[in-house]
Amino acid sequence: MNKMARTFNKGRNMASGLALWSSLLHLLVLVMCVQGTGGRKMSETQDGDGHETTHTEHAHAHHPSSHMHHHMDPSFMIFFTLEDLKEGKTRAIYFPKINPSKSPHLLPREEADQIPFSSKQLLHLLHFFSFSQDSPQAKAMEDTLRQCEIEPIKGEIKSCATSLESMLDFTRGVFGLDTPFSVVATTHLTNSTTNFQNYTILEEPKEILAPKMVACHTMPYPYAVFYCHSQKSVNKVFKVLLGGEDGDRVEAVAVCHLDTSQWSPNHASFSVLRTKPGASAVCHFFPADNLVWVPASTSM
């Protein structure tokens, strides 16, 4: 990762054309600084890299895959049903702990746009970042590029944002040019180092009444890449206060997808919840480095 750090300037100078969004940008920068939002770390070990890649890909991308054998991986323990979303309920949940100093950073658009972002250019990119073709990083990059290039499912619009500006442009396109919007994200209120443990819902979950939402998920890549998507089907957004066995406190963001009929039968959630496409709503918690954008007029 040091080679990447030397390759890129990590400054976050915003383009002058985004002046109208200065307050929104400031909010996102605060989120990134506090919670380490920037990008899914590309682990130096094959094991960690595989888990990160698989989790990001199959927890949030609803496309055909053949990774059902991963359903016992703790990193898949983010899924639940609407019936589970009640005060006093306890379940095992995976919350990866993010280290900001080791996470890839967002690039300014002028830098990101100079770097190809295409699977056709993978060999060139591996040479650019000094990764061998059989390295864990190469596999992670290939998986991310493939997910970004797959066609969206019916009723979905998607884009992989390689800069903050491109993320905001996509979000503005979903909500409308004249609609201001804000961001919500999972917040860790304590400094627990435990990734996987039982959590209890401490109070009645609070629904964020949003007519539309854009979810942006970090992807494993040398610099920050967000898989952003929005679905026409009905979704519900919640803030959930959780208490862990070790005293951890998390104000988690959760999204419930009420219509899963277009999802792949191999989606990891169906294995975890023992259900199938269209049979029931599927909910999942967001790690702290993922973002949910909602109209600013939304009741929070």
pLDDT of the chain, 300 residues: tens digit per residue: 434 433 333 333 333 233 333 334 444 443 443 334 455 555 433 222 222 333 333 344 444 333 334 446 888 899 999 999 999 999 999 999 887 778 888 899 999 999 999 999 999 999 999 999 999 999 999 999 999 999 998 889 999 999 999 999 999 999 998 899 999 999 999 999 999 999 999 999 999 998 899 999 999 999 999 999 998 888 999 999 999 999 999 999 999 998 888 888 988 888 888 889 888 899 999 999 999 999 987 655
Query: What is d(CA 161, CA 177) in angstroms, rounded to the nearest whole number?
Result: 18
| pLDDT computed for residue 298 by the predictor | 63
| pLDDT computed for residue 297 by the predictor | 73
| pLDDT computed for residue 98 by the predictor | 80
| pLDDT computed for residue 203 by the predictor | 96
pTM attached to this predicted model: 0.77
| pLDDT computed for residue 100 by the predictor | 73
Cα angle 279, 285, 148; round to 5: 80
Query: What is d(CA 299, CA 69) in angstroms, rounded to the nearest whole number?
Result: 40
Q: What is the dihedral of CA 249, 62, 159, 188, to 10 degrees?
A: 0
Assess contact for 87 and 203: CB atoms under 8 A: yes
**Number of CB atoms found within 10 A of residue 124's CB:** 12
Per-position DSSP letters for 146-185, written without gaps between them:
HHHHSPPPTTEEEEEESBHHHHHHHHHHHH-TT--EEEE-
Type and span of the H or E element at 204: none
Query: What is d(CA 10, CA 107) in angstroms, rounded to the nearest whole number?
Result: 6
Query: What is d(CA 297, CA 271) in angstroms, rounded to the nearest whole number?
Result: 37
- The CA–CA distances, whole Å, from 127 to 104, 124, 131 equal 18, 5, 6
| pLDDT computed for residue 41 by the predictor | 55
Taking Cα atoms as reference points, which of 199, 203, 107 lies closest to residue 162? 107
| pLDDT computed for residue 42 by the predictor | 58
Cα angle 184, 188, 194; round to 5: 135
